[in-house]
Amino acid sequence: MTSTPPLPKASLYYYNKSVWASAPLLALEEKGYGADEVDLKEVDLSTGENFTPAYLRINNNATVPTLVVPLQNTLDPEIESRYKAIKDTKAIVEFLDRSRSPQSRTHSTSSAPAPSLAPATIAFSSTSNKIIELLHSEAGDPNALMFMNGRNEEQLKKLSESLKPILVAKCDALDQLIEENKQAEVKVSEKTTRFWEMKRVATSMILDVLEDGEKPTSDLDDQAKGKRGEYFKAAAQAWAGLKDVLVQLSKEIIGPYALGDQLSIADLHLAAWTARIAMLAGGEASDDGNTVVRKLEEHIGDSFSLPKDFSVAEARRRAGLPASNIPPTERQARLAAFWDAIKERPSWKKVYADGLH
Ligand SMILES: N[C@@H](CCC(=O)N[C@@H](CS)C(=O)NCC(=O)O)C(=O)O
């Protein structure tokens, strides 16, 4: 008797310090996927591994996360399995949610429950989509905010210390790929070369400013002073643009989770995004929600303040957290209530075990 060969595994390409790869990593934990169901494959963004032709064949945007899944309708074992690559966070999280229901544990060693994370009603679905859209909008882009996290000399110096080595390695990797391709017998497409060159230019523009990051402005020549001035202007704009995103989010989040007391897909995006924004504002994984919101408000500056309109006791009760001793009149920002709820979850503790990223 021949037994059916097991389905090939899916592969999640991720990087452990990536914002958006953290959303599917949280999904794997929340859905109780077993290690036999998804292979984790790390792509080192800090050395430009995402730009290699091998990775570009998987995801031509050169971003993580990517989920490569076997197509299930290859019934004939003689036919090699075919795969498709899902290349954006929203689609990956939705796919992971759909692919494991409480009844579909047949191919897994995991016996963990797999609650549905999809919004249950059309109204919830609309709120969920609005939240996810805001988090992935240009104004909310957590990666852009990281590159723009220097609005004065002191911040720029700190940013330069952490980012310069990564950007140098990225430029070196791109230079090497461009150079090796010139010598190669079989060359990559012109589109790929142009993509590398474009990325090289974009990276070196920021690197130009960070190279001098430790120098006071008074020590710079006129050209470098000009570039720093432009950068400060763009950085101020980027952080000012975040205010609107935060205000909109506060209106949409029902609390303490995005859609109320049940975790849903939007929370996985919100958790990953908030962790990065909190880190940029000097927050730490051990901070409570009110501390994170205070640090964020101070970091944004300009007397920015999020509405404090959510009952702390109510938020904690809904999240299943102890709520005694909390005066019924105490209020907090919805993002603070969300932070307190999400950071108690085993999935969050696992993904952020080494700190915020
Ligand atoms: N729209 C994409 C964006 C993904 C994205 O920006 N990923 C970042 C890491 S969080 C990345 O891979 N950046 C490439 C780089 O740093 O070179 C998605 O939602 O998946």
DSSP assignment string, 295-339: HHHHHH-TT------EEHHHHHHHTT---TT--TT-EE-HHHHHH
Show Cβ contacts of residue 256 under 8 Å, excluding neighbours closer than 6 positions.
310, 315, 316, 318, 319, 334, 337, 338, 340, 341
DSSP 8-class letter at 10: E
Please state, in angstroms and as integers, the Cα–Cα distance from residue 142 to each residue in 50, 106, 114, 270, following that order: 19, 38, 29, 11
User: Quick one: which of 224, 223, 207 has its CA closest to 215?
Assistant: 224
Atom of ligand 1 nearest to the CA of 48: 17
Q: Which of 19, 51, 63 to mutate to test the pocket of ligand 1 (most atoms within 8 A of CB)?
A: 63
Q: Strands 10-14, 310-311: parallel, antiparallel or unpaired by DSSP?
A: unpaired
pLDDT of residue 104: 59
Task: Report residue 61: phi and psi, to 5°.
Answer: -85, -10
Tell me the residue type at 68.
V
Q: Whose CA is nearest to atom 20 of ligand 1?
A: 88
pLDDT of residue 177: 97
User: Quick one: which of 90, 98, 107 has its CA closest to 35?
Assistant: 107
Q: Which of 17, 47, 52, 64 to mutate to test the pocket of ligand 1 (most atoms within 8 A of CB)?
A: 64
Angle between helices 265-280 and 334-342 (to 10 degrees): 100
pLDDT of residue 222: 97
Q: Any residues with Cβ below 6 Å from ligand 1, and which?
A: 18-20, 45, 50, 62-65, 88-89, 136, 143
Measured in angstroms, how far is the CA atom of residue 212 from the centroid of ligand 1? 26
Task: Report residue 326: phi and psi, to 5°.
Answer: -100, 120
User: Quick one: which of 279, 255, 280, 257 has its CA closest to 269?
Assistant: 257
pLDDT of residue 6: 58
pLDDT of residue 105: 54
Measured in angstroms, how far is the CA atom of residue 335 from the centroid of ligand 1? 24
Measured in angstroms, how far is the CA atom of residue 315 from the centroid of ligand 1? 32
Q: Work out the widest C-alpha separation in the chain, in whole angstroms.
A: 81
**Rounded to whole angstroms, how far apart are CA atoms 355 and 217?**
32
Measured in angstroms, how far is the CA atom of residue 79 from the centroid of ligand 1? 33
Measured in angstroms, how far is the CA atom of residue 46 from the centroid of ligand 1? 12
Measured in angstroms, how far is the CA atom of residue 170 from the centroid of ligand 1? 14
pLDDT of residue 197: 98
Q: Whose CA is nearest to atom 6 of ligand 1?
A: 63
Q: Which tens digits make up the pLDDT trace of 187-223?
A: 999 999 999 999 999 999 999 999 999 999 999 999 9
pLDDT of residue 113: 65
pLDDT of residue 303: 97
Measured in angstroms, how far is the CA atom of residue 63 from the centroid of ligand 1? 4
Q: Which tens digits make up the pLDDT trace of 51-71?
A: 999 999 999 999 999 999 988
Q: What are the residue ranges in the chain where pLDDT is below 50?
A: 1, 106
pLDDT of residue 100: 85
Cα radius of gyration rounded to whole Å, the chain: 22
CATH (one of 3.40.640.10, 3.40.50.2000, 2.170.190.11, 3.40.30.10) for 10-117:
3.40.30.10
pLDDT of residue 1: 47
Residues of the chain with CATH 3.40.30.10: 10-117
